[in-house]
Amino acid sequence: MSSVESIKDIKERKHRNRGFCSFVKTMLLKVFLFTRYYIDILIDVIFGYFNDSKRVPIKKCTNPIILESATSLAQKIRKRELTSEEVVQAFVDRIKEVNPVLNALVDSRYEAALEDARKIDRDIANGTILDVDFQEKPFLGVPFTTKESSAVKGMSFTLGIVKRRGRRATFDADYITLIKNAGAICLGVTNIPQLNLWQETHNPLFGITNNPYNSTRNVGGSSGGEASLLAAGGTPLSIGTDIGGSVRIPAFMCGVFGHKPTSHLISTAGIAFRTGGEGEQTMVNTGPLTRHADDLAPVLKVLVGEHVKKLKLNDPVDVKNIKMSYILNAKDVLISPYREDMKQTILRAVKHFKEISTTPPEELNIEGTKFAGKLWKYWMSQESGVNFMKDITDRTGEANPIVDTIKHFTVGSEYTTSTIYNFINKLLPSPNEDWAIKETEKLREQLLAKLGNNGVLLYPSAPFPASYHHAAYLRPWNFHYFVIWNVLKFPVTQVPMGLNKEGLPVGIQVVAAPYQDHLCIAVAKELEKAFGGYVPPFETS
């Protein structure tokens, strides 16, 4: 009897010990998050002290053309209410007004673009272009811009790498061919982080890009030049690429829409060093950034080309019948604590759908989202045809992370501090392969079970809006909210939800299961209608 009591006592003691350990861990986590929250506040105060006086506003808009959607402009050109030359000239003029503040466009083809526009106008006038041509070329006469890291024949193609200074593309990336074939006219290419790998747009060749809502703030990366120029009215149509939030981070920070499509529908050929033969392992994707939700599906149809039938972009969607889920916190302790304005942003969306949906939105509690950073790091290591240490040298050699890091902080180097961060990250241990594959599949199955073919997930974009330039070096993991959808290869739309009290954009991500991009876009349209969507960062006449 005594031996039985002894075993029972041991079990109870172990149970009490586990409970105590759990309590201690919980308390330590709360202390850590509390401390981290106020450290983040202190960072903002310090950076603001040195930067707020340097803010330069964006010039007022005097030409209403620049506020139009790309599809609206295409229709007006088709109906001869506007000429392509008038449209292109309006955006050329606007770029000249705003780019000195933004440093977004790094190479232009203004005269060539205007000549392209004049030719289209002549062909329309003499009847060479018929109605069927407009159907086959839905953006005929409409200007666009894209990233400097994507090949546009004749344009700068340096990737922000010093060894590529002066390099120009000799061909068009596959997605550029598609958008040109749709009739769009390239105005130029925009700034990126060095080799695209950072959450702020800055490189040694072209410098830093500024946020149109506050020029002392970050525009995100790597499609930061695109989002900045788009938000300031410098282009009606913007195309970015996304391997770790590179469309959605800038879209969030600059208050515009950004869509990362279902994976493997758009060729990667011509994106940096990619050839298009990377296969289905790659996480990189191409997607539109727009000021108007109505532009997302038409641009996406062009980009996916022959794969358009795999999506349901023409199917009508009743948003009231979509199954809504939401997550408020990814539980990733490396991410800065979530601030109230961001929490209220997603709760406003939840409240709206509670009021209109046939089934109330359901809050999800899925543990796997806290592994976003680890999973992304593993799958980045599996990217075929990519070798960061060689690519950063323009494949003329191989960087030495230890030597180059020491050089950077002593005598200086041709690399940005963000590239040094990537060197250091390469030196850190990689996640276990079996664990990463198993956890990725587990998370995918959990989410697919919830989303099905008629569900979306409302998900945070970031713990707070655009921070000051270079503050990301002190918060290097905040992009984890975005990368999980690259890992899972789900379609996701970044949706602007107005401005916070500081006048900075806030927003949320809308996620769906693969090939259900139309649901993301339908919800984006509904949120735009309910909350206003894009808010110009300048005065309008």
Catalytic residues: 147, 222, 246
- Distance (Å, whole) CA 225 – CA 131: 34
Q: Which one-letter amino acid corresponds to residue 428? A: L
The H helix count followed by the E strand count for the chain is: 17, 13
| Token duo for residue 201 | 């747009």
By DSSP bridging, strand 257-260 and strand 323-326 are: unpaired
Backbone angles phi, psi at 237, to 5 degrees: -145, 125
- Rounded to an integer, what is the distance from CA 422 to the centroid of its chain? 19
**How many whole angstroms from its chain centre is CA 535?**
18
CA distance 246 to 250: 7
DSSP reduced 3-state for 219: coil
| Size of the chain, expressed as the number of residues it contains | 541
The β-bridge relationship of strands 143-147 and 207-208 is unpaired
Helix axes 296-304, 70-78, angle to 10 degrees: 80
| Terminal alpha carbon distance of the chain | 90
CA angle in degrees (0–180, nearest 5) for 231-252-44? 105
**Exposure letters 174-183 (e unless 16+ CB within 10 A, then b):** bbbbbbbebb
Residues 250, 224 contacting (CB under 8 angstroms): yes
CA distance 525 to 74: 20
